[in-house]
Chain A
Amino acid sequence: MTVATLIERLSLEAITVADPDREVTGGYAGDLLSWVMGRAREGDAWMTIMTNINVVAVASLSDVACVVLGEGVTAAEDVVKAAATRGVTLLRSDKPTYELCALVHTALAEAAS
């Protein structure tokens, strides 16, 4: 499943999209950045409510497919700029993290079947 498909399936708001054709291969949820770096896998959709600039660095270094900001949080302008510059795909939704995880899981399972 591509990032573009994920955006469509979950009705996500696209803040920055580096590569709509990037494959999403899994999902991870977490707000402790070091924890995320230790556990998230390359190609994951990362659900978080953290919106500080370090999120962009963590997303870039762990090479996740996209960041999904949940629970209606918004990213400040400098964070959006940094994401655009570093090729990080930043998406958002008003849905709770739990629901987003369930939806990503279902979408991935359906794409694999």
Chain B
Amino acid sequence: MSEEALRFHFDVDGDDFTSAGQASVQVKKLLRELGVSTDVIRRVSIAMYEGEINMVIHAGGGKADVIVDETAVTIVLTDEGPGIPNIAQAMQEGYSTAPDNVRSLGFGAGMGLPNMKRYTDHMEIESQLGQGTVITMRVDL
């Protein structure tokens, strides 16, 4: 891989549950073409999918940026949603504020953020109430 980092940008549509996951699927393909190991691909794409779903459920969509360099895959998810009032609480398995229609689709189990943390080597959440949330995740190669 060249020394220059590869950057990919995706817009995540806010009101479309059926297309959620498109960015993650594309990233999966790109990483496969780059020859990244299947374990890393699986972790990156699951963490990113959870992030996409979260942005669709809570923030009316957002943006996903993926940076691949020699040492890691970094995913930056940016939204202009309501923000997370209590990050420690949101990180607990089983805690969810997702509405019933989302639960009926099989989401809203309160596993999104915990899964993102579980599958990445580093995760950072910056959230401002009323302004939005930026989540940075890194999976080491």
| Chain A interface (Cβ < 8 Å from any Cβ of B) | 31-35, 37-38, 42, 50, 52-55, 57-58, 60-63, 78, 86
Q: Is the CB of A57 within 8 A of B21?
A: yes
Q: Which residues of A contact B118 (CB under 8 A)?
A: 38
Provide the residues of chain A in CB contact with B18, threshold 8 Å.
53-54, 78
Interface residues of B, CB < 8 Å — how many?
Answer: 24
Contacts from B to A (Cβ < 8 Å): 17-18, 20-21, 24-25, 28, 38, 42, 45-46, 49-50, 53, 105-107, 109-112, 114-115, 118
Q: 9 A–B contact pairs at CB < 8 A?
A: A32-B109, A38-B118, A52-B105, A54-B21, A60-B25, A61-B25, A61-B28, A61-B45, A62-B42
Closest-by-CB residue of B relative to A49 is B106
Alpha-carbon gap, A53 to B45, bound state (A):
17
Q: B109, A34: Cβ atoms under 8 Å?
A: yes
- Which residue from B25, B42, B110 sits with its C-beta under 8 Å from A57? B25
Whether A63 lies near B25 (C-beta < 8 A) is no
Residues of B within 8 A of A53 (CB): 18
Q: Which residues of B contact A37 (CB under 8 A)?
A: 46, 49-50, 111, 115
CB distance from B15 to the nearest CB of A (A): 15
- In the assembled complex, the Cα of A55 lies from the Cα of B45 at a distance in Å of 15
Please report the C-alpha to C-alpha distance between residue A61 and residue B28 in the assembled complex, in whole angstroms: 8
A61-B42 contact given A34-B111, A34-B115, A38-B111, CB 8 Å threshold: yes
CA distance A52 to B25 in the complex (A): 17
Contact between B24 and A61, CB atoms less than 8 A apart: yes
Q: A61-B45, A63-B42 are in contact. Are A34 and B20 (CB under 8 A)?
A: no
A37 vs B92: C-alpha distance when bound (angstroms): 16
Residue of B nearest to A30 (CB): B106
Determine the distance from Cα of A47 to Cα of B65 in the docked complex, in whole angstroms: 33
Chain B CB within 10 Å — which of A54, A60, A78 has the most? Answer: A54
Tell me whether B46 and A33 are in contact (CB under 8 A): no
Which of B46, B106, B110 contacts A31, CB < 8 Å? B106
